[in-house]
Amino acid sequence: MATANVNIPPEVRAVAADGTQLRYALMELSNQYPDAIALGRGDPDVATPAHIIEAAKAAIRDNKISPTSVYGMPILREAVAAKLRAENGLDANAENVIITTGGQEGLYLIMQALLDPGDEVIVPDPRYTSYDEAIASAGGKIVLVPTDHDDAFNLRPEAVEAAITPRTKIILIITPSNPTGGIVTEERLRAIAEIAIRHNLIVISDEIYEKFLYDGWKHFSIGSLPGMAERTITLNGFSKTYAMTGFRVGYAAAPVNVIEALARIKSVTTGAAAAVSQWAALAAVTGTQEPIREFHKLYDDRRRLMMTGLREMGLSFSDPRGAFFLWTNSSSTGIHATELSYLLLKEGRVLLFPGTGFGDNWGGYLRISVLQKSELLSEALERMKPILERYRITQE
């Protein structure tokens, strides 16, 4: 990508090669603009459902706040297992579940438990760069498998198999995907499962966005397939589904020996997830699911609004089959995504994340979330339009 000689602040330029730090630097910079419209982070903007809030209040009122087992409350572990059996087809019981302090802690614990220095993890590209950090913290090596726009960023089984070496230990699956909104379809998950069995590999399946698929696409859990229960770790949580990001409560489901290994590490690091958060999570998973249906419709409506607006500006994007994001091709501007993100923030007061926040290869993409009210999404599009027009180049 070309550059526009944009005077990016040094605190942003200094971390441009670090996806996670780049995202945080742009968020910090956006605080200088009180009227900025934030379409960056993936935190739901809707209110946590009332019955979940009431459960948290009741736990405090009734003094049910003592530390729990490091594995999590038995009643919550069983409720999560029941959900996994009923909705995901997993052969799970309470002893196959550990409650974590958010999904990111779960990811960290898994890598610490499974990886030896030099072990390789196959990771789709682009990706949320917290995976990189968790793998590196355990001495592991990331092996990137490219996905592409024309294939809706679906993961190709043949590319996965081609990446396997004698050091490969894990295949990471993220479906739906952050940042692309793509999914790994059932047909390809079945083929990847056969590869994992044939090469005796572990699969980590991050399904945090499982409830938000659109246009008739359905979620499918690879751990439900024959021969996969003993080699799959399913990672999930409550933050995205129930708008509970601040509660910091997630879970992992895996064979008992893996759960025990995670618990040993958790016991000497963070300890048990907060009891109040666990009671709230119990209300979420066992209570009415109507709020999820309402959230789904709301996000889908916003997604369609943003898709229409981007098309009117002449921008393309990958097929957003799930999650909260539009992975938007900004190459027609001729400007590297990091510089373009800064221009959109400085001149338009719209915070977007550059594709390079999700991997070095994505300087021609922006990740745009739909986690704002529709009127703010419309305003953001209006602010973006003159800036994008100013920097657009003619494509041959």
Q: Are residues 197 and 263 in the same domain?
A: yes
Domain that holds residue 321: 10-46+291-391
In this predicted structure, what is the pLDDT of residue 18? 60
Instruction: Indicate whether 2 belongs to any domain.
Output: no
In this predicted structure, what is the pLDDT of residue 121? 98
- Reported as a pLDDT band with limits 50, 70 and 90, residue 109 is very high
Give the C-alpha separation, 202 to 359, whole Å. 24
Q: Tell me, what amino acid is at 76?
A: L
Q: Does position 42 have pLDDT exceeding 50, yes or no?
A: yes
Q: Are residues 231 and 296 in the same domain?
A: no
In this predicted structure, what is the pLDDT of residue 395? 34
In this predicted structure, what is the pLDDT of residue 13? 62
Give the C-alpha separation, 240 to 70, whole Å. 23
Instruction: Indicate whether 330 belongs to any domain.
Output: yes
Of the candidate ranges 174-183, 282-291, 318-327, 387-396, the one whose mean pLDDT is the lowest: 387-396
For residue 46, with 0-12 CB atoms within 10 Å meaning exposed, 13-18 middle and 19 or more buried, which class applies? middle
In this predicted structure, what is the pLDDT of residue 5? 58
Domain boundary among 270, 286, 302: 286
Residues 14-38: tens digit of each pLDDT:
555 565 677 778 888 888 889 999 9
Q: Are residues 101 and 15 in the same domain?
A: no
Q: Are residues 116 and 39 in the same domain?
A: no
Q: Does position 392 have pLDDT exceeding 60, yes or no?
A: yes
Q: Are residues 217 and 253 in the same domain?
A: yes
Determine the average pLDDT of the residues in 101-123. 97
Instruction: Choose between 41 and 367: higher pLDDT.
Output: 367
Instruction: Indicate whether 75 belongs to any domain.
Output: yes
Q: Are residues 212 and 114 in the same domain?
A: yes
Give the C-alpha separation, 281 to 79, whole Å. 10
Give the C-alpha separation, 256 to 230, whole Å. 9
- For tokens 């052969």, what's the residue? 91
Instruction: Indicate whether 1 belongs to any domain.
Output: no
Q: Are residues 80 and 227 in the same domain?
A: yes
Give the C-alpha separation, 215 to 198, whole Å. 34
Q: Are 262 and 108 in contact (CB under 8 A)?
A: no
Give the C-alpha separation, 136 to 117, whole Å. 9
In this predicted structure, what is the pLDDT of residue 178? 95
Give the C-alpha separation, 367 to 21, whole Å. 16
Q: Are 342 and 351 in contact (CB under 8 A)?
A: no
- Reported as a pLDDT band with limits 50, 70 and 90, residue 396 is very low
Determine the average pLDDT of the residues in 96-119. 97
Cα first-last separation, the chain: 15
Domain boundary among 269, 286, 303: 286
| Token pair for 222 | 């690879």
- For tokens 């973006």, what's the residue? 384
Q: Tell me, what amino acid is at 4?
A: A
Return the C-alpha torsion angle 141, 225, 240, 249, nearest 10. -70
Domain boundary among 263, 286, 309: 286
Instruction: Choose between 346 and 247: higher pLDDT.
Output: 247
Q: Are residues 233 and 99 in the same domain?
A: yes
Q: Are 200 and 152 in contact (CB under 8 A)?
A: no
Q: Are residues 321 and 175 in the same domain?
A: no
> Between the CA of residue 170 and those of 103, 127, 204, 254, 299, what are the distances in Å?
18, 16, 7, 14, 32
Question: In the chain, pLDDT over 70 holds for what percent of residues?
Answer: 94
In this predicted structure, what is the pLDDT of residue 17? 59
Instruction: Indicate whether 113 belongs to any domain.
Output: yes
Give the C-alpha separation, 139 to 221, whole Å. 28
Instruction: Indicate whether 281 belongs to any domain.
Output: yes
50 Cβ contact list (under 8 Å, min separation 6): none
Residues 184-210: tens digit of each pLDDT:
999 999 999 999 999 999 999 999 999
Q: Are residues 32 and 167 in the same domain?
A: no
Instruction: Indicate whether 376 belongs to any domain.
Output: yes
Residues 236-294: tens digit of each pLDDT:
999 999 999 999 999 999 999 999 999 999 999 999 999 999 999 999 999 999 999 99
Q: Are residues 276 and 354 in the same domain?
A: no
Q: Are 197 and 62 in contact (CB under 8 A)?
A: no
Instruction: Indicate whether 396 belongs to any domain.
Output: no
Determine the average pLDDT of the residues in 154-180. 97
- Reported as a pLDDT band with limits 50, 70 and 90, residue 334 is confident
In this predicted structure, what is the pLDDT of residue 169? 98
Instruction: Choose between 5 and 160: higher pLDDT.
Output: 160
Q: Are 322 and 213 in contact (CB under 8 A)?
A: yes
Q: Does position 300 have pLDDT exceeding 70, yes or no?
A: yes
Domains in the chain: how many in total?
A: 2
CATH of the domain at 329: 3.90.1150.10
Average of per-residue pLDDT values in the chain: 93
In this predicted structure, what is the pLDDT of residue 174? 97
Q: Does position 12 have pLDDT exceeding 80, yes or no?
A: no
What is the total residue count of the chain?
396
Q: Tell me, what amino acid is at 165?
A: T
Give the C-alpha separation, 340 to 364, whole Å. 10
In this predicted structure, what is the pLDDT of residue 38? 93
Q: Are residues 105 and 24 in the same domain?
A: no
For residue 178, with 0-12 CB atoms within 10 Å meaning exposed, 13-18 middle and 19 or more buried, which class applies? buried
pTM: 0.93
Q: Which of 104, 40, 129, 136 is nearest to 356 (CA)?
A: 129
Q: Are 379 and 37 in contact (CB under 8 A)?
A: yes
Of the candidate ranges 140-149, 217-226, 330-339, 366-375, the one whose mean pLDDT is the lowest: 330-339
Q: Does position 95 have pLDDT exceeding 80, yes or no?
A: yes
